Amino acid sequence: MRHLRQLIHERYWTQIVLLRKLARFGRRTPRQNLAFIRYIFPYTDLYWRLHSAGNHRTTYVIGLFGSGRWYLFELLKKNLGARAKYLRDTIRLHRRPTSMVYCNHATIRHASRFQALPRVTSRILEAVRAGWADLIFIYRHPLDSLLTNWIWWRAYLRNKSMSTVLSTVYKNTGDFCADLEKNFPEFESFAKGDPAFFATSPGPRFLSFPEFVEETELFLRAATLALRLEDFTIDPAKELSKIVQVMSIDHDVNRLQAAPPHTKPYRCLAVAEKVPQFRDFIDKLDAETKRRIETIGYKVG
């Protein structure tokens, strides 16, 4: 019964999203609609009936929200060579090996807004176990992701902005800490996955922090290759070369174009020093969440 209710809920919101897209389509000019169709065409079944999807192992590059997934997408776009034409900022499922490279967000156990549902991810994991797909997972310190995601969701819920990062909102870490201290109850509501935090935008909620950490641990167990965003700040070319090897791309690793990410690693440690409430939040995390953070290779405090 619970599964049936979840399925009905998912289909309801899928229909709502489709209706909203159709409404926007009707408001556009014919020129804008033509440009949209040309953009979306490669994502459709019809396109791949007319074009070869290749016969390599399908690659899925997955990252939870706020973990560097978009940074990795941009790196791949510059460095995949001929394979770049198969790179897509979405997720699709195939019943055989392909040359497609899908890069997006997904979850394994907990349903979450703006991330592919567990039933989709389970199909990806089946393909990985069958040997016709690879799963590359990028992650970072979960507390850094938590702070990043809180900033993003605040901006999205207030003005539908989908490109907000810390550096675009605050001049420095001190300004951010002051805002966090002032709005800490709101931050805690987000970290708990409280549906009330998302009340202004109907739809499923985002992951709670314990769920986020659990999802990270689950992906690390399932991934063909796991990459830490922090390691890209040290030697991005070295980390990118690991992807090239997994994908069996004939590419000179010495010619990889790999700039480090703009984000500052381990910002959560500086925030914990300046915001006592955030320090207390970390100390009060449940034992299982703390264990998981340490298991995936990070210090809790």
Residue 166: which H helix or E strand, with range?
helix 166-169
**Residue 126 token pair:** 């089946």
- Which residues lie closer than 8 Å to 12 by C-beta, 6 or more apart? none
**Sign, CA torsion 15/19/24/28:** positive
Pairing of strands 133-139, 101-104: unpaired
**CB-CB contact of 79 with 244 (8 Å):** yes
Helices 287-295/209-222 angle, 10° precision: 40
CA distance 117 to 43: 18
More confident residue, 203 or 228: 228
Burial label for 63, CB within 10 Å (0-12, 13-18, 19+), is: buried
Radius of gyration of the chain (CA): 20
Dihedral pair phi/psi, residue 228, rounded to 5°: -95, 135
Phi first, then psi: give them for residue 201, nearest 5 degrees.
-135, 95
Least Cα distance to 215 among 138, 110, 125 occurs for 110
Nearest one of 59, 258, 218, 223 to 138, comparing CA atoms:
223
Partner residues linked to 227 by β-bridges: 138
What is the token pair recorded at 17?
């999203």
Mean of pLDDT values over 112-128: 96
**What is d(CA 199, CA 222) in angstroms, rounded to the nearest whole number?**
33
Pairing of strands 58-62, 133-139: parallel
pLDDT tens per residue, range 21-59: 566 656 767 766 655 554 455 545 455 554 556 668 999
pLDDT at 36: 54
Q: State how far the Cα of 99 lies from the Cα of 20, in Å rounded to an integer.
A: 32
pLDDT tens digit sequence for 233-267: 999 999 999 998 999 887 666 678 889 998 889 99
Query: What mean pLDDT comes out for the span 161-186?
Result: 88
pLDDT digits (tens, 9 = 90+) for 75-100: 999 998 888 889 999 999 988 899 99
Give the pLDDT score at 10: 47
**Residues 160-175, mean pLDDT to the nearest whole number:** 81
> Does residue 141 come out as left (phi exceeding 0), alpha (psi in the -120 to 50 range) or beta?
beta
Write down the pTM of the prediction.
Answer: 0.83
How far is the C-alpha of 155 from the C-alpha of 164, rounded, in Å? Answer: 7
CB-count burial class (<10 Å; 0-12, 13-18, 19+) for 46: exposed
